[in-house]
Amino acid sequence: MTEEAGRAPWKARVLTLFPEMFPGPLGHSLAGKALERGDWCLETMDIRSFALDKHRSVDDTPFGGGPGMVMRPDVVDAALAAALVPAADGRPIGPAIYLSPRGRVLTQALVKDLADGPGCVLLCGRYEGLDERVIEARGLMEVSLGDFVLSGGELAALALMDAVVRLIPGVMGAAETLAEESFERGLLEYPHYTRPAVWQDRAVPEVLLSGHHEKINAWRLRQAEEVTRSRRPDLWAAYAKRAEPKRKA
């Protein structure tokens, strides 16, 4: 285990009706190797094992009518109670997150906050959703991947963990790669090129072949600004606002 001095590895506890979906893609590549090394931990808990009746039911019809089924608050609460027990050293596991299209949209800032903490509990919904009372009673943080509807929270939980795990020291190769990538500076990434220098009559921008690092960095910053300005006015406005006091000074 390659823990950072005295720090327990980052831990995700996933509550799901489909535990076999994990670690899924996170068992491969850099995240998978880090999981094997013990740089992070993944535990799944089957929500159905907290069912209270002999039919092992986890959902029921919605009060007020309407389509679909709703996950029962008593069953989900029992699963959350088990998932939220602190570690042997008394450390809490971290926030309880419910993956839902109604949540705040996942950002790199939230990913960083989670990576800086001890871990989190990830509750994956299915069916029409979860009884609102358990969201309130447990103060769940609702997090969405974006304005689209998945058939359950599992893929969202995998995406969230992927984003967190790659920030754990030792998981990714070069630290500079992280510092320059999209969102780290509030900008989208500049374009990348590799060999061959000319491909299908398209030449790589001259400056990248110059070996002049200052010019290359300046060109990359201009490109990152341009791509952000044209594609993501929301990010551009926030970036420009942050840059403003510096320009005035």
> Which positions touch ligand ADE (CB under 6 A)?
99-101, 144-146, 148-150, 153, 156
Q: Measured from the CB atom, is 18 or 219 closer to ligand ADE?
A: 18
Residues 131 and 103: their CA atoms lie apart, in Å, by 15
141 neighbors 114 (Cβ within 8 angstroms)? no
165: tokens are: 């795990």
Q: How far is the CB of 145 from ligand ADE (least distance, A)?
A: 4
**156 CB-near residues (< 8 Å, 6+ apart):** 99, 106, 124, 143, 144, 145, 150
Q: How far is the CB of 213 from ligand ADE (least distance, A)?
A: 40
Q: Measured from the CB atom, is 115 or 122 closer to ligand ADE?
A: 122
Q: How far is the CB of 139 from ligand ADE (least distance, A)?
A: 18
Residues 32 and 11: their CA atoms lie apart, in Å, by 14
Q: Measured from the CB atom, is 9 or 129 closer to ligand ADE?
A: 129
Region of 64 please: left (phi>0), alpha (psi -120 to 50) or beta: left
Q: Measured from the CB atom, is 126 or 220 closer to ligand ADE?
A: 126
Q: Measured from the CB atom, is 150 or 235 closer to ligand ADE?
A: 150
Q: How far is the CB of 7 from ligand ADE (least distance, A)?
A: 28
Q: How far is the CB of 99 from ligand ADE (least distance, A)?
A: 4
Q: Measured from the CB atom, is 114 or 171 closer to ligand ADE?
A: 114
Q: How far is the CB of 46 from ligand ADE (least distance, A)?
A: 18
